[in-house]
Chain A
Amino acid sequence: MSQTYRLENGGLINRYKKLSFKFNGKTYYGYEGDTLASALIANGVHLVGRSFKYHRPRGFFGAGVDEPYAMVQLYRNDETEPNVKATEQELFEGLEAKSVNCWPSVNFDIGAINNFLKIFLPAGFYYKTFMWPKSFWYRVYEPFIRKAAGLGVVSTKHDKERYEHKYEYCDLLIAGSGPSGLASAYAAAKNSARVILAEDKPRFGGSLLTSDVNIGNQSGEDWANRIISELKQMPNVVVKNRSQIFGYYDHNMLVMSEKVSDHLPKTKKYHPKQRLWYIRAKEVLISSGSIERPLVFGNNDTPGVMLSSAAKEYLKVYGVLVGKNPLVFTNNDSGYETAIEFKKNGINPIILDSRVNPKSEIIDEAVNLGIKIKFSYVVVAAQGYKKVSSADISKISDDKKKLGTIENIKCDCICVSGFWTPTIHLASQSGNKTKFKEEIDAFVPGTSKQNETTLGAANGVFTLEETLKSSFMAGQDLSKKITNNDNKISLPNVVEKKSSRHDKFWCVPLPEGKNYKRFLDFQNDVSVSDIEIALKEGYRSIEHVKRYTTLGMATDQGKTSNLNGLQLVSDIENKVVPAVGHTTFRPPYTPISIGAIVGREVGKHSKPTRKTPMHSWHENNNAVFVDAGVWLRPRYYKQGKETLFEASKREAKNVRTNVGVCDVTTLGKIDIKGPDAAEFLNRVYTNAWLKLPVGKARYGVMLREDGIVMDDGTTTRISENHYHMTTTTAQAANVLSHLEYYLQLVWPNLNVNVVSTTEQWAGAAIAGPKSRKLLKKLFPNNDVSNEGLPFMGYIESDLFGVKARIFRISFSGELAYEVNVESDNGNFMWEKIIELGQEFEVQPYGTEALSTLRIEMGHVAGSELDGRTISYDTSLEGLISKKKDFIGKRSLNREAFTSSDRQKIVGVVPLDKKTSIPEGSHLVKDAKATLPNKKLGHISASCWSVEYDNPFSLAILKDGKNMIGEKLFVMSPLKNKVIPVEIVSSHYVDPKGERVRS
């Protein structure tokens, strides 16, 4: 008993390659070229899941991207993926899938009890039913919904697959490879335009694969294959299958998701699973076709009710029968095409046509084939629970309001066709205001907003000849504009059957005494009565009706339900559909995996890693690194089994007693040149810069225009018109942009140039009482005495043949120097310092010791200059010049900035001299005060003072100036700590600053 619904022959599958797969634990067989859906249907499996709200049985409704039901949990190569559409997932050997949204199993689902309690679940059920009584929410409703609802299960494992991003430019981007896509691509390619043709399915050709037409004496399928193979040969054309263009963004940028490996059991080595293409196109041709509309009748969600076009596709592409006793229910000629295909394969369908007495070539053909047709007939309700077993049918009056006697006929599937809805999503996303086309009862694109043209069925053109004609022309004209080539393509002879007009009828009235559910949105279980309730309750705007009822809000985004929902609202409201209007289409057209969106930007690839020239030395010497922006900096150098705390204490202590060396390459460096450089610095910094002599450095603070401190650092006058500015590591890029802003836009008359030299110089800070002795060894030919190179002095020198800059500046508060050499010589410099420093017991120190040293000295850094503090707060007000104007000065007289109890930096020591104070803790007067306890300030930075061997912190404290000596409490609710502390001066060590000048 395998594949009993597979035809003996036919279809585009590879019958020579049989594949085994598992669904809900049971093994089945299919063929290469199947989708999971076609293979399951071939095996007679029609029950794949449960609906979201009522947990009604769910089968297959479509055959592609529009599928609202058949979502499965997919297992592939030790990974699992939720909500994969069975109609899109190609079969591969060993595929495993399970039903989602059912518990404990698809055949016995406890949630289906909702179906019998449906009185509780009308429109807006989330908003009202579960509101009362309040206590029920946590105990009853919420756990129940969690267990019963939801779709698939997301894997919690790290995704080991690779996803890539690709950026591409082209002349014409064509979305969809049906007749209009192929014709326009062909014409444009012949004009040498750069063309990208994208098809979301594995096979090219769109409707040509399933329709009975003839182009230039070839079948539609053969013609499509010929055009595709010709296009593939052309160097100016990229042809992509399994590629969905899902978003139309600004300035003609579209994004396409290419499923590179999803159809394979395992991703090939060096291949990505999926690839996201960002395509900037000069012209966009939207040939996305159309999706068949359902007809609405009782129990129209029963498995076995499906779109007639899908039934035809299963037949013609996969050689699979969706049923052996089919009923076709249609309001137009498309249903006949499906019935004819059944008949040709030895199956006897019955057609119910809602129209009174339609005439066309297709209907004639059906009649000639002996197909049983009932005009003015409708399906009133499908019968059967897990699969259609019969249908209640009836004659309907000409005004479609009255049903006749109900008859019951046996059938195993109902193929419905309610005419066609153009797929206008991309056009709408581009900004195109769509318009309603009366003849087809659907929206089509209006005037182009960007460079987009919609063709064929997507534009509401449903005849092949007209589609090909307009598409050849569009491809030709648009490419001619770009390439100036003008190759004329003659239209091939087209044979197709003429259709008659569809019936506007789409919703079967309820028979007397029956209360069948008639579904509009099959995934979110929105029925006709839900919309009626919403309107009765006063919802009018279609956007509100949508959100209240959740119509069209499921993962299929209403591809099959939107228009019928609009029809219903307009019918009830007695309006025309365009007056109701449709909801906005937004990208993505179809769900896109998070992996594809993220691409390669995961883990260490999420941002670049910057390493200093001394990085490998640090690595070789047991450095433990820390991220400083995108830089990697040594946090500490581990000796033996030392902890961070022990190592940083040792390193800091060594700086205070001997000499340490720290890699400061990451500091931002900006070269400033030009005759107006001094004037520029004078405007950028708060202090005076005009009189800084050549060979001297100065500490400066720069503000934003709102008066908040932006950054600090030292700037050195290298020569008359040449300065070397340093910034903090974190602010380097912002400061450069800031300087460029003022030079280019505000003061373009200043003759100054700025350029980043951060990566040109490697820097080493040499700090500690023995640093001068070490410097003497490094630069024996220079006078580095206190007189020869005083505090804030600068000299240029030669480090054993290597050009070097020596700055006498200090961040540690000790006698210290900073040596810069060109980056290529960084490692040479570092090794020389270590080598010659041995006799002075030099040790490298990392950022942790660096912090300790600056904190106990009361030097401010990023944690105090946090974008909320002004100069006064950080005790930098002494650097504010009264004599000159500068950036941000006008803001400093703001009331809050000048209040007498303004916050200020202070030092904090725990009373027990033992308990470490967590950074970010709050300072309060009374630890036991009732909440909210008034916050007086916060701990900005903490360390273990190596000078006093006890904890020490810096804090920004309200009225800090007058708080020295006060006893307060530090509270950290995060760490659950309350610590009594004393407020002291922020300058804990060497308050007079004697060491740096020694």
Chain B
Amino acid sequence: MLHIKCPHCGMRSQNEFSYGGDASVKRPELNKEITDEEWDNFVYNRKSLRGKHLELWQHLSGCRQWIKVERDTATHEIFNTYKAEEEIS
């Protein structure tokens, strides 16, 4: 079970969180003309990375905030966690 540092609440057990997938995916703006390919990339196409992955988790049984977690998908090492609005350098 992972130990995830919620940037709002502190270190919490994985079972308080739910997984939300790749955090680098950006929803196309509303009312914008986009190609089918752009839309498919947003809805369906995901990389199945081995290694460092920026991903979304929601602290469901805690503050209910969506957060970003930088995690190694192979070793499960967590390098950093960020608030939703935080800029990631």
**Which residues of A are interface residues toward B (Cβ below 8 A)?**
167, 249-253, 278, 280, 431, 449, 683, 705-706, 737, 740-741, 744-746, 748, 884-886, 890-891
Contact of B76 among A251, A741, A886 (CB under 8 A): A251
A746 touches B85 (CB 8 A): no
- CB-CB nearest in chain A for B1: A253
The distance in angstroms between the C-alpha atoms of A431 and B1, with both chains bound, is 14
State whether the Cβ of B34 lies closer than 8 Å to any Cβ in chain A: yes
Cβ–Cβ < 8 Å partners of A706 in chain B: 43-44
**Chain A nearest Cβ from B83, distance in angstroms:** 9
Interface assignment of B64: CB less than 8 Å from any CB of chain A: yes
Which of B27, B39, B43, B58 is the one whose CB lies under 8 Å from A746?
Answer: B27
Whether the pair A745, B84 counts as a contact (CB closer than 8 A) is: yes
Contacts of A278 in B (CB 8 A): 1
- State whether A741 and B3 are in contact (beta carbons under 8 Å apart), knowing that A251-B76, A431-B75 are contacts in the complex: no
Q: Is the beta-carbon distance between B30 and A745 smaller than 8 angstroms?
A: no
Cβ contacts A to B, 25 pairs, < 8 Å: A167-B13, A250-B3, A250-B76, A251-B2, A278-B1, A280-B3, A683-B30, A705-B27, A705-B43, A706-B43, A737-B58, A740-B64, A741-B20, A741-B58, A744-B65, A744-B84, A745-B56, A745-B66, A745-B84, A746-B27, A748-B85, A886-B30, A890-B34, A891-B39, A891-B43
B contact residues around A885 at 8 Å (CB): 30-31
Inter-chain contact A748/B84, CB cutoff 8 Å: yes
Provide the residues of chain A in CB contact with B78, threshold 8 Å: 251
Residue of A nearest to B26 (CB): A746
Question: Would A253 and B28 be within 8 Å (CB), given that A740-B66, A741-B20 are in contact?
Answer: no
Whether a CB of chain A sits under 8 angstroms from the CB of B60 is yes
User: Can you name the residue of chain B whose Cβ is closest to the Cβ of A748?
Assistant: B85
Contact in complex: A744, B66 (CB < 8 Å): yes
Please report which residues of chain B, range 22-45, place their CB below 8 angstroms from some CB of chain A when the two chains form the complex.
27-28, 30-31, 34, 39, 42-44
**B80 adjacent to chain A (CB < 8 Å):** no
Residue of A nearest to B11 (CB): A280
| B73 touches A (CB below 8 Å) | no
- Shortest Cβ distance from B34 into A: residue: A890
Which chain A residues border B58 with CB–CB below 8 Å? 737, 740-741
Question: Contacts of B42 on A, CB cut-off 8 Å?
Answer: 705
Knowing A683-B30, A706-B43, A748-B84 touch, does A737 contact B60 (C-beta < 8 A)? yes
Q: How far is the CA of A745 from the CA of B21 in the complex (A)?
A: 13
Interface residues of B in 43-89 (CB under 8 A from A): 43-44, 56, 58, 60, 64-66, 75-76, 78, 84-85
**Chain B residues near A705 (CB-CB < 8 A):** 27, 42-43
Instruction: Return chain A residues, CB-CB under 8 Å to B30.
Output: 683, 885-886
A280 to chain B: which residues have CB within 8 Å? 3, 13
Interface centre among B30, B44, B75 (most CB of A within 10 A): B30
3 closest A-B pairs by beta carbon, nearest first, are A251-B3, A885-B30, A250-B76
Residues of B close to A252: CB separation below 8 A: 3
Q: A705-B27, A890-B34 are in contact. List 16 more A-B contacts (CB 8 A).
A: A250-B1, A250-B76, A251-B1, A251-B3, A251-B76, A253-B1, A253-B3, A431-B75, A737-B60, A741-B20, A741-B58, A741-B66, A745-B56, A748-B84, A885-B31, A891-B39
> How far, in whole Å, are A280 and B1 apart by their CA atoms in the complex?
10
Q: Measured between alpha carbons, how far is A250 from B13 in the docked complex, in Å?
A: 11
Complex Cα distance, B28 from A886, in Å, reads: 11
Q: Which residues of B contact A746 (CB under 8 A)?
A: 27
Docked complex Cα distance between A24 and B27 (Å): 69
Give the chain B neighbours of A449 by CB distance below 8 A: 75
Contacts of B60 in A (CB 8 A): 737
Q: Are A890 and B2 in contact (CB under 8 A)?
A: no
What B residues does A683 contact at CB under 8 A?
A: 30
- Cα-based distance from A246 to B2 in the complex (angstroms): 18
CB pair A249–B43 under 8 Å, yes or no, is no
Report the nearest A residue to B31, measured CB to CB.
A885
The complex places the Cα of A167 from the Cα of B2 at a distance, in Å, of 14
Distance between Cα atoms of A737 and B59 in the complex (Å):
10
Decide if A890 touches B64 in the complex (CB within 8 Å). no
- Check B66–A250 contact: CB distance below 8 A: no
C-alpha gap A386/B27 in the complex (Å)? 73
**Which residue of A278, A886, A890 has the most chain B CB atoms within 10 A of its CB atom?**
A890
Contact of B2 among A250, A431, A884, A886 (CB under 8 A): A250
How many whole Å from B30's CB to the nearest CB in chain A? 4
Smallest CB separation, A441 vs chain B (Å) = 30
Task: A746 to B66: give the CA distance in the assembly, Å.
Answer: 11
- List residues of chain B with CB within 8 A of the CB of A744: 65-66, 84
Q: Report the bound CA distance from A236 to B14 in whole Å.
A: 27
Distance A549 CA – B76 CA, assembled complex (angstroms): 33
- Minimum distance in angstroms from B56 CB to a CB of chain A: 7
* Given A251-B76, A737-B58, A748-B85: A890 and B28 interface contact (C-beta under 8 Å): yes
Q: Which residues of A contact B20 (CB under 8 A)?
A: 741
B83: nearest chain-A partner, CB-CB: A744
Instruction: Give B27's nearest chain A residue, CB to CB.
Output: A746
- Mask, B3-19, CB within 8 Å of A = 1, is 10000000001000010
Query: Which A residue sits closest to B18, measured CB to CB?
Result: A737
Q: How far is the CA of A886 from the CA of B2 in the complex (A)?
A: 35
By a CB distance below 8 angstroms, the chain A residues around B76 are 250-251
Chain B contacts for A890, CB-based, 8 A = 28, 34, 39
Residues of A within 8 A of B39 (CB): 890-891
Determine how close the nearest CB of chain A comes to the CB of B82; give it in whole angstroms. Answer: 12
CA distance A249 to B75 in the complex (A): 11
- Which of A167, A278, A683, A745 has the largest count of B CB atoms less than 10 A from its CB? A745
A249 surroundings in chain B (CB, below 8 A)? 1
How far does the Cβ of A147 sit from chain B's closest Cβ, in whole Å? 41
In the complex, what distance in Å separates the CA atom of A252 from the CA atom of B78?
12
The residues of B that contact A748 with a CB separation of less than 8 Å are 84-85
Residue of A nearest to B68 (CB): A745
Taking CB atoms, residues of chain B closer than 8 Å to A251 are 1-3, 76, 78
**A residues less than 8 Å from B27 (CB atoms):** 705, 746
Cα A746 to Cα B85 in complex, Å, equals 10
In the docked arrangement, what's the CA distance between A740 and B84, Å? 11
A250 to B77, CA, bound (A): 8
Smallest Cβ-Cβ distance to B29: which chain A residue: A885
- Residues of chain A lying within 8 A (CB to CB) of residue B31: 884-885
- A280 to chain B: closest residue by CB: B3
Q: Tell me the complex Cα distance, A251–B75, Å.
A: 10
Please give, as numbers and ranges, the residues of chain A lying within 8 Å of B3 by CB-CB distance.
Answer: 250-253, 280
Bound-state CA distance A677–B38 (Å) is: 28
Shortest CB distance A913–B (Å)? 45
Chain A contacts for B13, CB-based, 8 A: 167, 280
With A and B bound together, what is the CA distance between A706 and B18 in angstroms? 20
Closest to A754 in B: B64
Closest to A706 in B: B43
Q: What is the distance, in angstroms, from B69's C-beta to the closest C-beta of chain A?
A: 12
Residues of B contacting A740 in the complex (Cβ-Cβ under 8 angstroms): 58, 64, 66
Smallest distance from the beta carbon of B67 to chain A beta carbons, Å?
9
Contacts of B18 in A (CB 8 A): 737
A746 to B58, CA, bound (A): 14
Residues of B with C-beta under 8 A to A891: 39, 43
Closest chain A residue to B4 by CB distance?
A251
Q: What A residues does B75 contact at CB under 8 A? A: 431, 449
For B30, the closest partner residue in chain A by CB is A885
In Å, the complex CA distance between A431 and B31 comes to 49
Chain B residues positioned under 8 Å from A253 (CB to CB):
1, 3
Measured between beta carbons, the chain A residues less than 8 angstroms from B85 are 748
B19 to chain A, nearest CB (A): 11
Closest B residue to A890 using CB positions: B39
Q: Give the distance in Å from the alpha carbon of A885 to the alpha carbon of B31 in the complex.
A: 6
Minimum CB–CB distance from A168 to chain B (whole Å) comes to 12
A969: min CB distance to chain B, Å: 37
Task: Report the nearest B residue to A733, measured CB to CB.
Answer: B60
Considering the chains assembled together, what is the distance between the CA atoms of A696 and B20 in angstroms? Answer: 35
A255, closest chain B residue (CB):
B1
Q: Shortest beta-carbon distance, A493 to chain B, in Å?
A: 42
A250→B3 CA distance, assembly (Å): 8
Pick from B18, B34, B44, B84 the residue with the most CB of A within 10 Å.
B84
